[in-house]
Amino acid sequence: MTTHTSATQSLSGGAIDPALLRFATAGSVDDGKSTLVGRLLHDSKSILRDQLESVTAASRRRGSDTLDLALLTDGLRAEREQGITIDVAYRYFATPRRRFILADTPGHVQYTRNMATGASTADVAVILVDARHGVVEQTRRHAAVAALLGVPHVVLAVNKMDLAGYAESVFGAVTKEFDACAASLGLRAVTAIPLSALAGDNVVHASRTMTWYTGPTLLEYLETVPVGDTVRRRPVRLPVQYVIRPPGAEYRDYRGYAGRLASGVLRTGDRVTVLPSGLVSTVAAIDILGEPAQKACAPQSVTVRLADDIDVSRGDLIATGRPPAPVTDVRATVCHLRERPLRVGDPVLLRHTTRTVRARVVEIPYRLDTDRRERHAAPDGLAVNDIGRVVLHTAEPLALDPYECNRETGSFLLLDPTDGATLTAGMVGEPFGVA
């Protein structure tokens, strides 16, 4: 059930399915995140019998009479030895109401890149705080990363309420403090839930102790929060992955453009623009899984045929509405992922949807202090885990949407041209307000 995924795989993903919810968990060390995830999986009956038996035996070897739920999620030996989460682990489970992909991200500051990786495709960020400590520096950092990555919904999970006497006043004070932080970051959809992961209060089952709380449990919230509709209401963006030209005389005039719809609803007869060329045509036919269709909705994979014989290649973008103007000067906020610093003058490869072009870093105006939301000069470039601002010049024009309008066509990766390794994740546009 558990797999560890590379940054490249996660940041270049992003499929959105209304029946599927992607969510990420984040919290400081000792806030009880592993126990919360373990409780969620255990109480929703998403644990296989052999896994439960293995964790039960491990708990006994550690001298515990009860099940240590944190052992269900701390998959790496180093994680178990240190009692902290190190790597992003993706877990898949389902209830009768919805399917879930959970990105369990580390809380340590040196793993900020991992949190950014896990949250980059999330519909919901679950940010834990210890009820006894309230909002701390890491809480503000995690909220800032969620705001930066445009995560649509945030849950403030006020954990360890059992150690705070299950007091409503404690929950109220933590919520008030976080609301002020969220408002300054522009986070609007915040839901606060008081819970005890250790005792199981308000994780899957409603608390019998905190009767003053009448909102949903964490699982109820995750099962019902709406996702996906906004992506389909946006203009069509179809990155072309393959140009299909079947052999044989009967397909002499067939030319299809295949890819996955990043956003919007595409219909036959729609007027479309192909970028970066700017050529205009009309959708003549749509095929889904080899069958003709009158329309297709994001994130379906489709093959499109156009009414006009125009030049369309892999890496082009088929768009409706007001198409983005192709640019060669890219201004973006980035999170640097590699140990090797990113410096002015560095040659890189820029991968945007299905297109990869050569580029160069021409300016690094500043790096962000996410705790204080301040800008600082970056004369030595961006180090691993740094979030900052860059200006890039590309060898070929790119059709980029602002990240706040489209998370998929507004994001990109910078790659090392020598070995293809992922260096940096980028988001087109301005970051949240900073000093």
pLDDT of residue 75: 53
Return the pLDDT at 185: 85
257 and 401 co-located in one domain? no
Look up residue 24 and give its two tokens. Answer: 């990420």
pLDDT at 225: 92
Q: DSSP letter at 256?
A: E
Residue 337 belongs to domain spanning: 326-428
Own/partner pairs, 180-185, CB within 8 angstroms, 24+ separation: 181/135, 181/139, 181/140, 181/143, 182/143, 182/154, 184/373, 184/433, 185/143, 185/144, 185/147, 185/373, 185/432
Same domain, 223 and 241: no
Judge if 198 and 247 occupy the same domain: no
CATH of the domain at 112: 3.40.50.300
Q: Is residue 433 part of a domain?
A: no
Distance in angstroms (rounded) separating the CA atoms of residues 37 and 47: 11
* Residue at which a domain ends, from 175, 209, 227: 227
Given CA atoms 71, 77, 83, 87 in this order, what sign does their dihedral have?
negative
For residue 6, the model assigns a pLDDT of 37
Q: Is 281 inside a domain boundary?
A: yes
Q: Over its length of 435 residues, how does the chain's per-residue pLDDT go in tens digits?
A: 333 333 333 333 444 455 789 999 988 777 788 889 889 988 998 877 777 777 777 777 777 667 777 776 655 444 445 554 545 577 888 999 999 998 887 656 566 677 777 777 889 999 999 999 999 888 988 888 888 888 889 999 999 999 999 999 999 999 999 999 898 888 888 999 999 999 999 999 999 999 999 999 999 999 999 876 677 788 999 999 999 988 877 777 889 999 999 999 999 999 999 999 999 999 999 999 989 999 999 889 999 999 998 999 999 999 998 899 999 999 999 989 888 999 999 999 999 999 999 999 999 999 988 777 788 999 999 998 888 999 999 999 999 999 988 888 999 999 999 999 999 999 998 765 444
Domain count, the chain: 3
Provide the pLDDT for residue 299. 85
374 and 357 fall within a common domain: yes
Domain boundary among 319, 346, 370: 319
Q: Give a yes or no: residue 80 inside a domain.
A: yes
What pLDDT shows up at residue 74? 57
| Predicted structure pTM score | 0.78
Same domain, 52 and 195: yes
pLDDT value of position 107: 59
What is the reported pLDDT for 161?
97
Token pair in block for residue 334: 């980035």
Q: Residues 79, 145: one domain?
A: yes
Q: Which of 227, 253, 281 is the last residue of a domain?
A: 227
CATH number of the CATH domain containing 331: 2.40.30.10
- Please tell me whether residues 350 and 294 are part of one structural domain: no
For the chain, counts of helices (H) and of strands (E): 9, 24
